[in-house]
Amino acid sequence: MYKYFVLLLLFASTLGFTQNTAVSMTETLKFTAAYNMSGIMTDLAEVTMETSPVKTSKATLLRLKCTATTYSKWDNFFKIRDLYESYVSPTTLTPYLYKRDINEGGYYKFMQYKFKHKTKTVESIKKKRRGDGTIWEEKKNLNIGSSTNDIVTTIYKIRNLNLDQATSGKSFPLTVLFDNKEYKITVVYLGTEAINTAIGKKSCYKLGISVTNSSVLKGSNDNLLWLTADSNKVPVFAKFKIAVGNGELKIKSASGLKN
């Protein structure tokens, strides 16, 4: 279920991106994930987005980590322990390694991408748990477009869009690699709007999101994302609609911001 919170954030991505001027090396954002249950928007989980430096033998990379965890009172109903992470260039946010490790209500899945940018390919590893508890594994080499990114990288590239130069109604086509498939996304800039959040009243860029080759998100005006209209472009609020209902993502706290 909570992959949709991550999917919603990723769907406003890389157009207009040049260099990373918005995301620091030590940032933490916390969100409350809510879902409409019998007509009541109910807080079910916490989503955390964190950055940290990682030194390798050749360079220092930026680790982008996203986790989703149900609040303890909901664990017996549908326990979520999801991890998404990507290792990227701190300056360009070019991805080199992506991992997804999800455990949702007993369903387990692992994905890993190694990006080969010179050849525009990805080495993919997929693991799933069978009914008998054993792990099934599949390896593939995928061809991708030059501007295709993984989910987590895309979440952070949104923060470097040149939205201050966009006009209301402008649309942007995007491509995101998810579950070994490239998805075509359309993001529409809807202007600015002031909203109240847990970190104060914020003037925000408002975006509408739709997916042209997937049924993950429903409707053309039902999936919305608000980013602070400043140099950090922090995602503070999101609304989404899927086949089985609708939900929200609300920021709780933000620390270690770059600007």
List the chain domain ranges. 3-255
Model confidence pLDDT, tens digit, residues 213-232: 655 555 556 789 999 999 99
Q: Per the confidence metrics, is the pTM higher than 0.85? A: yes
Model confidence pLDDT, tens digit, residues 39-86: 899 999 999 999 999 999 989 999 999 999 999 999 999 999 999 999
Residues 6+ positions from 224 with CB-CB distance below 8 Å: 190, 206, 207, 208, 209, 238, 239
Q: Does position 243 have pLDDT exceeding 80, yes or no?
A: no
Query: Which pLDDT value is given to residue 248?
Result: 94
Q: Are 14 and 154 in contact (CB under 8 A)?
A: yes
Query: Which pLDDT value is given to residue 33?
Result: 95
What CATH fold (topology level) applies to the domain 3-255?
Answer: YmcC-like fold (2.40.360)
Query: Which pLDDT value is given to residue 160?
Result: 83
Residue 3, SS3 per DSSP = helix
Helices (H), 66-175: 75-78, 151-157
Model confidence pLDDT, tens digit, residues 189-208: 899 999 999 999 999 999 88
